[in-house]
Amino acid sequence: MNSVSPSAAQYIGGVMQDELVDSRRQQPPERQNSFGPRLPQTLDASREAIREPDEMDKLKAKMMSAWNNVKYGWTVKSKTSFNKISPVTVLGHSYLLNSEDEVERFSLAFVSRIWLTYRRDFPQLEGSTWTTDCGWGCMLRSGQMLLAQGLLVHLMPRDWAWPDAQQLTDVDFEVFRPRSPARAGGVPIPSFGSPRSSNTPEKSLSGSQASRCSQKKRPESAKDRQAEPIHHKLVTWFGDQPLAPFGLHQLVEIGKGSGKKAGDWYGPCIVAHILRKAVAKTSVAQNLAVYVAQDCTVYREDVVRLCDLSLSQTVPDPSSQAWKSVIILVPVRLGGEALNPSYIECVKNILKLDCCIGIIGGKPKHSLYFIGFQDEQLLYLDPHYCQPMIDVTQVNFSLESFHCSSPKKMPFNRMDPSCTIGFYAKNKKDFESLCSAVSMALSSSKEKYPIFTFVEGQGQDYGLEGHSSNHSGPAAHILPPGKLGRSDNRSNSDEFVFL
């Protein structure tokens, strides 16, 4: 990873310039500073505390933003290849792409996921000159997509599909009968489809052809259409506006509690805690809580105390719902410097679960949101595409840029070992089923020790601010001496994130 983040470079230049100007003026330090005549001590200290950007800072920020906008504002037209023999798994659902109907079901399932990418020209982030997150906000965007999926499951009808998904008729993938067990998935850059010539091989069926052929056959679901106002409202919560509860402005503001600021890179563990805080401080996501596992351990009693509303009621209210729905986020490390191949089968089994809402991680320096797999390739949504800000306060704003028509794949062995896995349970019964199903999936690992565990009892609440602190609580995993190196890496959730 680069040793200096964009925001650090943004301020270094400004400070050096200020010192140069001061030395040339040769004014007594008590009478002059880099912003003009000496201010009263209290005002000067306040300005120093917030590091008010000067013109040099603004120029540097604009140049960096312009470069990132160019870098992430174009796409390479490519098709990702899927085979007809192996099923494609997407968040607990399986699709065997050997018929037009199955290809259409897969296309609808993929396009219906909410896609959140880099944006530009949004209101300036407080305390900085940034009006874009290009180049540094990819993990925050991946975290937004993970939370958005949890909210979709929480608020929308079961197996909901976006009724207008067929607007994106040219889905950029093709289906073929493989000659070998696996085939590369194409260039991992998302792009919206465009009309193409019909030069598809005879044995392949493109996603666009399947969608067009089956448009006439699939009746629109009344429940899906009735849920569209909720869909619109949900997307507004992630808008790039200062008041959007899960928008970039709010997430960056919450991240300041852990020493992060606009322009810094964020890891999957820090983002998990930011999402927890964001949900806790807003009332828009009713009857929903977020729990973040500690030291690769989900403490069941902590989840019960968070979700069981009857525990906080002095007099039980029969009309109130007794249990909050919960999103469980588990920061883990799946190896040392690279992914341990022994964990691949376990990750596959987790993505097969209905309760799984995805994984945020990626490859080194490149965050992605994983939602499924086929054979030895992960299926993902990529936030590294810069789009103009959409004003979500406008009535009937377009949803097209919040849905992706280009499924992309990458080999498991390119996955960075640092990631956060997400799950959702609607009620207490679902939570018990989740614990059982996930524990079974975790037992499929060839490693002696599972990726994470469920245990009874309570853990120590580290919170968002505790990632840089040392805690004396009991370790979740006691490893033999030969594996102490990996245990040390795991014990500090913030240290092992290099995305």
| Beta strands 205-206 and 93-95, pairing class | unpaired
DSSP 132: B
Asked if 438 contacts 287 with a C-beta cutoff of 8 angstroms, the reply is no
In angstroms, the CA 233 to CA 281 distance is 18
Of 384, 403, 419, 435, the catalytic one is 384
Annotation says 54 is catalytic: no
The question of whether 384 is a catalytic residue gets the answer yes
Q: Residue 213: CB partners within 8 Å, gap ≥ 6?
A: 100
Count of Cβ atoms closer than 10 Å to residue 378 Cβ: 27
Residue 347's DSSP bridge partners are: none
- Which is catalytic among the residues 382, 386, 416, 467? 382
Distance CA 70, CA 396 (A): 29
Q: Is 386 a catalytic residue?
A: no
The long-range contacts involving 100-106, CB below 8 angstroms and separated by at least 24 positions, are 100/205, 100/210, 100/213, 100/214, 101/214, 101/217, 103/175, 103/205, 103/207, 103/210, 103/211, 103/214, 104/210, 104/211, 104/214, 104/218
- Residues 6 or more apart in contact with residue 396 via CB below 8 angstroms: 232
Given the residues 57, 133, 134, 138, the one annotated as active site: 138
Among residues 85, 82, 105, which one has the least CA distance to residue 93?
105
Query: What does the alpha-carbon distance between residue 398 and residue 388 come to, in Å, rounded to a whole number?
Result: 12
Residues labelled as active-site residues: 138, 382, 384
